[in-house]
Amino acid sequence: MKKIFSNTLFVLAAAGLLLASCSKDFLETKPTNQVSEGDIMNTTESALMNINGMHRLLHNCSTDWYSQGGYPTFCLHLAALSDDFIFTYTNAMFQQTQQYIHHRDLTHKYMDCNLYWKLFYRIIANGNRILSYIDDLPGDDNQRAFVKGQALAYRAFLHFQLVQAYAQRYDAAGNNTQLGVPLRIEDNDDNLPRSSVEDVYTQILKDIDAAIVELEATNYKKYNKSHIDQWVAKGIKARVLLTMGKWADAATVAQDVIDHSGAALDPHTYTDGMAENRFGEMSNTEWLWACASSRTDQSQFGGKLRSWHDFISNNAASYNANSPRAINCLLYNTIPASDIRKGMWLPDPYTVTCYVNASGKKAPYMSQKWLVDDPVTKYEERDVPYMRLPEIMLIAAEGYARSGGANVTKAQQLVYQLGHDRDPGYAAVTETGDALIEKIMWQRRVELWAEAGLRWLDLKRLNLPCDRGPAPRDGYNKGPWKNSATSAPTNLDPLASNYDMYGASLGEEARVIPAGDKRWQWLIPEQELSANPLMVQNEL
């Protein structure tokens, strides 16, 4: 047996990645504050406590900077990089992300390029340490498999996030020799070069398959949706296969989750008013995987704004109140009036009930998707969905549709099932080929708006441009719209989008990001380049 070690030995595996801007909480090497420094990982029970710490660290890295709240705020950056998420008024947070500057700026004071690289590799390192000990630890074998499966799933999932952000896209046509990210699968801090994109995806599939084996073998049940079980692991695998263009395989795995996970479409997902379980309660039967909020008082972390709802709920924090998050109006205009999801955004918030912070601004097409019932004290207490059943249904539908043949009928049935649930007037789906694909992608855009960064990842995996729509033509209002008015802007071009219309001064350079542009790759952190002589930077 390997020697018993203190939890204080859980350290970041990649040398030289410590941020000067990080607080003591973020540099703390224990993965959870539920384990004291005197405790040791010498049983499967204490190994499970370290898994719990990995869950916590994923969504709360507790740096000194606003907007750095772990994986959820990483997803917000990805959402802001997409075409469907509109930044309205000038604000410090996420504006430069929408401009395709932030993830390419190694000198930015928030240094998020460095933060997420460090955070994801830190969690991978914790998983590697667990995996190096778990087989030799005394304890319950079912618990051992539960721990081992989650550690493997996290290693797969976070390598997947890293390679999608920091490397060029996976090309389903093959020859994926382009630089990926370092593959850290050993319990050490050796300098490593960037593995090829193909090698990274090969390891991701190997790890997620091993995780599924372990999680299917255990009868140990997760006690909330922040844990990873076999269905979450299969959902991750379905995402990976979809990204690789392995259409039939992605559909098969996703269908297994649909049929056997127990998740079901929830009638309370889209409701009027501020129902707590709209997008803030993991009790929703559609949710497979989530961040389980543990914060009961924002002062616990010095009043810093870090949670998902801080930056997405338009009736919550000051940053949202000053710059409401909105949907691209060109997408909104395609949603039928009979579709319940249309109520998630307000084209004219001045004439209807609109939930905003007491001092908040309003902006046309602003989101009401993530509302909280008490924006003063509870916006940091809400759960955050990482994976929902509708996404899995649409993975299966896309996989079936793109693989063709007899699978097309299955795709049509799934699209209809989801579409009809959200829209009683949704007609039977008879389209095939590109028309069917377009219908599936439309459902992804509307149903999964701003969730998990999925739209930006879709654009990248499919090698599509980020096109936020045309600017207003001469003779129409070209903005910026000022918030001094009490009504929506007038004389708007019906063919133009609402990108850069209100007062954020985003500029034309980021209106369209061509497919294959170097800005689709996040830059490798300077700290990693300085510490690791084997590291190579992306194109500057």
pLDDT under 50: residue ranges of the chain: 1-39, 275-277, 295-303
Among the listed residues 94, 93, 90, the one whose alpha carbon sits nearest the alpha carbon of residue 80:
94
CB neighbours of residue 45 within 10 Å: 14
Q: Which of 64, 37, 75, 77 is nearest to 53 (CA)?
A: 37
Q: Give the up-direction half-sphere exposure of residue 18: CA atoms within 13 A in the CB hemisphere.
A: 12
Beta carbons within 8 Å of 244's beta carbon, 6+ residues apart: 170, 172, 201
The 10s digit of each residue's pLDDT in 205-233 is 999 999 999 999 999 988 889 999 999 99
Q: What is the pLDDT of residues 19-78, one digit of tens each?
A: 333 333 332 333 333 333 334 579 999 999 999 999 988 886 555 555 567 898 899 999
* Distance between CA atoms of residues 336 and 522, nearest Å: 36
Using the structure block, give the residue that is written with the tokens 């020799």.
177
> Six-digit token pair at 21?
């801007």
What does the pLDDT read at residue 38?
32
* 201 vs 163: CA distance, rounded Å: 8
Tokens of 53: 């710490």
**DSSP letter string over 485-523?**
-SS---S--TTS--TT-SB----STTTEE-TT-GGGSPP
Q: How many CB atoms lie within 10 A of CB 526?
A: 15
Which amino acid is residue 226, in one-letter code? Answer: S
Task: Return d(Cα 372, Cα 314) in angstroms, integer.
Answer: 9
Fold topology of 5-260: 1.25.40
Helices then strands, each counted (H, E), the chain: 17, 10
Q: How far is residue 297 CA from its own chain's centroid?
A: 24
Please state the separation of Cα 234 from the chain's center in Å.
17
| H or E segment and range at residue 50 | helix 44-59
Dihedral, CA atoms, 15, 190, 236, 538, nearest 10 degrees? Answer: 70
State the DSSP string of 324-372: -EEE-HHHHTTS-TT-GGGGGEES-TTSS-----TT----TTEE-SS--
Q: What is the pLDDT of residue 68?
A: 60
Task: Return the percent helix, strand and coil in the chain, to nearest 5.
Answer: 40, 5, 50
Sorted by where each begins, the domain ranges of the chain are 5-260
- d(CA 100, CA 121) in angstroms, rounded, equals 24
Q: Does residue 535 contact residue 194 with C-beta atoms inside 8 Å?
A: yes
Tokens of 135: 């087989």
The alpha carbon of 434 is separated from its chain's Cα centroid by a whole number of angstroms, namely 27
Using CA atoms, how far residue 109 sits from 68, 103, 451, 538, in Å, is: 12, 12, 26, 20
From the number of C-beta atoms within 10 Å of its C-beta (0-12, 13-18, 19+), residue 153 rates as: buried
